[in-house]
Every structure is written in structure tokens, then in C-alpha cells.
Amino acid sequence: MDLLPDPAPLATRLQNTLLRYHSIADSEWRIARKTKDAVVWRKPSEEFSGYLYKAQGVVEDVTNRIVDHIRPGPYRLDWDSLMTTMDIVETFEENCCVMRYTTAGQLWNIIAPREFVDFSYTTSYEDGLLSCGVSLNYGEVRPNFVRGFNHPCGWFCVPLKDYPSHSLLTGYIQTELRGMLPQSAVDTAMASTLTNFYSDLKKALKS
């Protein structure tokens, strides 16, 4: 079990990694799934043997309200259908914390419930916000859960230039689910999870 990290250098490193992902050329991505709410692409991850996923869609709301629904806090558990519990383990400052959360089983429970402990950091980006995170090897794993690991991930949210009441939400996710899983099941679950994330978020923002 690791100790909690010094937040400042970890936050800087994480932010720089996400900015690098955000500058990857379109030609490097391959489309994985498309719905009316979002498009999902993927490319091989540099961090592990799976994929880095990119998701993008327009959300009809202002940037701050969207990010408040995504980052750790009171809203996320209410609307995210995959998340079953969430606890803030440590708060470093208002925009920086460590959270422990669990997710429901997926694909008729081929993918059993997972637990994650993530460092989360939210900062300004252009005219909007970036909320990013990475898993930590911290704490004991709860019984009946497999400990998953999120390699650097995050959400860029910026207002549309001509429609400032709408925002472009772009996510980068690379989750190592761990456990004995066929890669095809993981790939199917990740693409559909990301498109569902957008539709669930949009419903929550309208309510």
C-alpha cells in the first residue's frame, strides 16, 4: 500500500499528460462507437496493453455546471449509472482530492464490480475547465470487488464560441479493469460506457 502522494507535482504531471493526449492528431484515432450524444475513438495506450479512448460530444449547458456534475462531489453519484458508491478519502484543496468509488457489474456480470482509488484534480483550461484523474495504489481492497486502475484520464469542457450556453465535452479514458477478462468484452464495455456517460449526464443536467 502506497502513501498518499504530494499533490502538487502529481497534479502538474497529470495535467501535462492530458494536454498531450488532447493534441494527438485525428489520424491516430480509430472510431469505436457513435451515437446521437457522442462519438468514441480509440488508439493503443502507451500506459498498458489496452486502449486509450477519446469521447466527444456537445452538451447543452455551461461549462462550470457540467464539470460540477463530473468531478468528485454530491452530483456524480446521483446520475452516473455505473457508479455505486463514492467517498472522498482526502481533500488537499477545493479542486484536488483522493476518492474511492465502486462500479456496478457490466455485460451481464462478465465484468464483476470494480473498486478504484483515484487522485482527482480540476483546473482551468482555455475558457473552460479540465477535470483529470489517475488511480493510486492505496488502501485495502473491499471484499467482493476487483481493484481496477485508471491510467491518466480526464475531461476537457469548453464553451462553444458561437453558443456559450453549450459546451464541447472531450474525455480521455484508459481504464485497466484487471482480473481475468477477455479483451473483447472490455473493449465493448468501454465504448458503450462512454456513450452512456453522455446520455446520462445530459438527462441529469436537464432535470
pLDDT digits (tens, 9 = 90+) for 28-70: 999 999 999 999 999 999 999 999 999 999 999 999 999 999 9
Q: Would you place residue 2 in the very low, low, confident or very high pLDDT band (cuts 50, 70, 90)? A: low
Whether residue 133 lies inside any domain: the answer is yes
Whether residue 12 lies inside any domain: the answer is no
Whether residue 25 lies inside any domain: the answer is no
CB atoms within 10 A of CB 134: 23
Q: Would you place residue 118 in the very low, low, confident or very high pLDDT band (cuts 50, 70, 90)? A: very high
Whether residue 17 lies inside any domain: the answer is no
60-112 confidence digits (pLDDT tens):
999 999 999 999 988 998 998 889 999 999 999 889 999 999 998 876 666 78
Residue 200 pLDDT exceeds 90: yes
Q: Which pLDDT score, from 0 to 100, does residue 144 have? A: 84
Whether residue 22 lies inside any domain: the answer is no
Q: What are the CB-based long-range contacts (under 8 Å, 24+) for 159-168?
A: 159/62, 159/63, 159/127, 159/128, 160/58, 164/62, 165/60, 165/61, 165/62, 166/58, 166/59, 166/60, 166/61, 167/58, 167/59, 167/61, 167/62, 167/63, 167/66, 167/128, 168/56, 168/57, 168/58, 168/59
Q: Which pLDDT score, from 0 to 100, does residue 1 have? A: 52
Q: What's the number of domains the chain is made of?
A: 1
CATH classification at residue 50: 3.30.530.20
Whether residue 13 lies inside any domain: the answer is no
Q: Which pLDDT score, from 0 to 100, does residue 108 have? A: 63
Q: Which pLDDT score, from 0 to 100, does residue 81 have? A: 84
Q: Which pLDDT score, from 0 to 100, does residue 188 have? A: 82
Domain of residue 64: give its range.
34-176+186-205
129-187 confidence digits (pLDDT tens):
999 999 999 988 888 899 999 999 999 999 999 998 999 999 999 999 887 777 777 88
Instruction: Let me know the angle formed at the C-alpha of 71 by 68 and 76, rounded to the nearest 5 degrees.
Output: 80
Q: Which pLDDT score, from 0 to 100, does residue 185 have? A: 77
